[in-house]
Structure 1
Amino acid sequence: MGWFWADSESATSATNAAASGAKCPVDHKAKASTPAVCPVKPKESKPTSELPAVCPMKKDGDNSSGVSDTLNPLNNMPSFISSSKLPGQKLDLPTDRTFSTIPRGEDEDEGVWEYPSPQQMFNAMMKKGKGDGIPEDAVESMVDVHNFLNEGAWQEILEWEKPYESLYNKAPRLAQFTGRPHDLSPRARMYLQLSKIFPKTFNTDPPFDRHDWYVLRSNGQGGWNQVRYVIDYYGGPDDEHGMPTFFLDVRPALDNVTNAKDRMAHWLKPHWDKAMGKVDE
């Protein structure tokens, strides 16, 4: 997966994007979870492992190469990618970019994060040599998958942040992020080891991508605390309609005692609710 949204200096409102609750990477029957289904047609989708790990940023425009070598510090990705059609390109790919639902930066005036257009994604793939073998008519589907998964990840983060949002009456925001597709998280490594013993319970395949998101949480004093979240992206089996499914393992990183307590409380809550008879019908 690896792609993430583009920065926008003027984005101030968000469209309603399709979002699905993030799910754990273990067998969904064991955890009574429902996989997030990709919102594109199967024939248009590509294996998630082929999705490139790059991210266009900043304002639209053009330059000689189409991709800037300057990296944006918020995501360590190129600060500029052109929306111009490439020489030899057969299809006209959309150049419109979609607003996410995710607030960006510390100030409300910074608006929301913005997703790359299909043309920007295609330009970046070709520039980085990752476009070979990917049909032009599959690029829009790749953007749909990218947007869908990241919206789902944010919805899961909002569930984690609910206690703090209620306590301080202030919603969280996303400060920055980084893709780490080649770095297995400690939990992903643990699941892989457990899958050798319990292959019917744990996913036997590693995640196809990993992101670290740096979320701003109100400190109750007019400022923010930064909380790192780790997100592992797993591919699941096709559903009964042949649609690809995905599972997202989203949790705060074990960087401090507060995050450790939150993870313990998050794990214990369903067991406590079940013991108290609070089971969803």
Structure 2
Amino acid sequence: MGQTASLPTTASTKPAEAASGCPVSHKNPDTSPATCPVAHDAPPNPAKCPIDHGGLNPLNQMPELAQTPAPNQRIQLPTERTESSIPRDGTSKWDYPSPQQFYNALVRKGWETPEEHVETMVDIHNFLNERAWIEVLKWEKREYTHDDIQLARLRGRPGELSPKARFWMFAGWLLPSRFNTEPPFDRHDWIVRRPRTGEEVRYVIDYYEAPAELDGSPVFSLDVRPALDSFSSVKQRIAVATEEVWADFRNNQKPDRTVTEPK
């Protein structure tokens, strides 16, 4: 239930790179190498994100990104920021980076990105964030009955494989014909606050690039789940995994009621 969501994304312009998601300035992936265009001091591998998640303003948990054009920038990029649907506290929501801020982050990290693709990359970045939040809410409804959930803070951890991602990588190594052999192109840890109880729950989000659609549109898969660092989260993960196994078993046990008409 909500652990993995495959998300087709259609873009009018095919981006040279795309970005994954996080309600702070972040990234969007592309149909070839699975990469995150905004970098978090990742180890040397393709999974990167050009926005530095370490340099956040302590007042709003947002990186300080310039809205002025970068040197040698050829086209004017929008500076308007889009408000997300993700609550940051009781009165405000997270804002996404403007295309200009996003591009400045890419330039600062040395990423060569065609300026005409930046707006598409930002759209993908925002789309992935919104889908990740929907999956978080699905999990939260199992444990918390109120609708005032907030995203308190987050951390980008590209290049740092979660235990579950390592397991699936090992499965892919053993059975490459059955399991995916590509690692997630990014990872985020989101800290969700439950205001009525004061609890904070850590969620792990692995971002994967799935096979593109027939028309070449990129498809992304998000694996969203509570981290196994509390008894409640462990119990919830076991319950959901059990439900999924039984659902698959029941579907496989259904008799084939197809009737072949005599010729």
Tell me the CA shift for residue 76 of structure 1: 7.3
- Give the Cα separation in 2 of the matches to 1:186 and 1:76: 27
Q: Is the 8 A contact 1:177 1:213 kept in 2?
A: yes
Q: Is the 8 A contact 1:235 1:245 kept in 2?
A: yes
**Aligned residue among 206, 223, 230 for 1:256:** 230
Tell me the CA shift for residue 35 of structure 1: 2.5
- Give the Cα separation in 2 of the matches to 1:246 and 1:146: 11
Corresponding residue of 1:8: none
State the one-letter code of the partner of 1:116.
Answer: P
Is 1:83 the counterpart of 2:59? The answer is no
Corresponding residue of 2:117: 138
- Give the Cα separation in 1 of the matches to 2:13 and 2:166: 30
Tell me the CA shift for residue 137 of structure 1: 0.6
Tell me the CA shift for residue 199 of structure 1: 1.7
Unaligned segments of structure 1, at least 5 residues: 1-20, 25-33, 55-66
Corresponding residue of 2:169: 192
Q: Counterpart of 2:194 in 1: which secondary structure?
A: strand
Is 1:38 the counterpart of 2:9? The answer is yes
Corresponding residue of 2:140: 161
State the one-letter code of the partner of 2:9.
Answer: C
Corresponding residue of 1:209: 186
Q: Counterpart of 1:49 in 2: which secondary structure?
A: coil
- Give the Cα separation in 2 of the matches to 1:275 and 1:44: 40
- Give the Cα separation in 1 of the matches to 2:210 and 2:107: 28
- Give the Cα separation in 2 of the matches to 1:125 and 1:237: 25
- Give the Cα separation in 1 of the matches to 2:171 and 2:59: 35
- The superposition leaves residues 77-111 of structure 1 with CA deviations (integer Å, 9 ceiling, x where unpaired) of 63x21111223211111111111110103xx12x1
Corresponding residue of 1:71: 56
C-alpha distance 269-73 of structure 1, shift in aligned 2 (>3 A): farther
Is 1:235 the counterpart of 2:209? The answer is yes
State the one-letter code of the partner of 1:226.
Answer: E
Tell me the CA shift for residue 23 of structure 1: 6.1
- The superposition leaves residues 128-158 of structure 1 with CA deviations (integer Å, 9 ceiling, x where unpaired) of 323x2x1011111111111111111110001
Unaligned segments of structure 2, at least 5 residues: 18-29, 41-51, 252-263
C-alpha distance 150-144 of structure 1, shift in aligned 2 (>3 A): same
Tell me the CA shift for residue 242 of structure 1: 1.1
C-alpha distance 22-209 of structure 1, shift in aligned 2 (>3 A): farther
C-alpha distance 272-70 of structure 1, shift in aligned 2 (>3 A): closer
- Give the Cα separation in 2 of the matches to 1:269 and 1:183: 29
User: What is the number of equivalent residue pairs in this alignment?
Assistant: 225
How well do the aligned residues superpose, as a CA RMSD in angstroms? 2.7
State the one-letter code of the partner of 2:82.
Answer: T
State the one-letter code of the partner of 2:79.
Answer: T
Tell me the CA shift for residue 179 of structure 1: 0.2
State the one-letter code of the partner of 1:258.
Answer: S
- Give the Cα separation in 1 of the matches to 2:59 and 2:207: 21
Q: Is the 8 A contact 1:41 1:243 kept in 2?
A: no
Corresponding residue of 1:181: 158
Identity in percent: 44
| TM-score, L = length of structure 2 | 0.77
**Aligned residue among 120, 139, 142 for 2:101:** 120
Is 1:266 the counterpart of 2:223? The answer is no
Corresponding residue of 2:255: none
Q: Is the 8 A contact 1:23 1:249 kept in 2?
A: yes
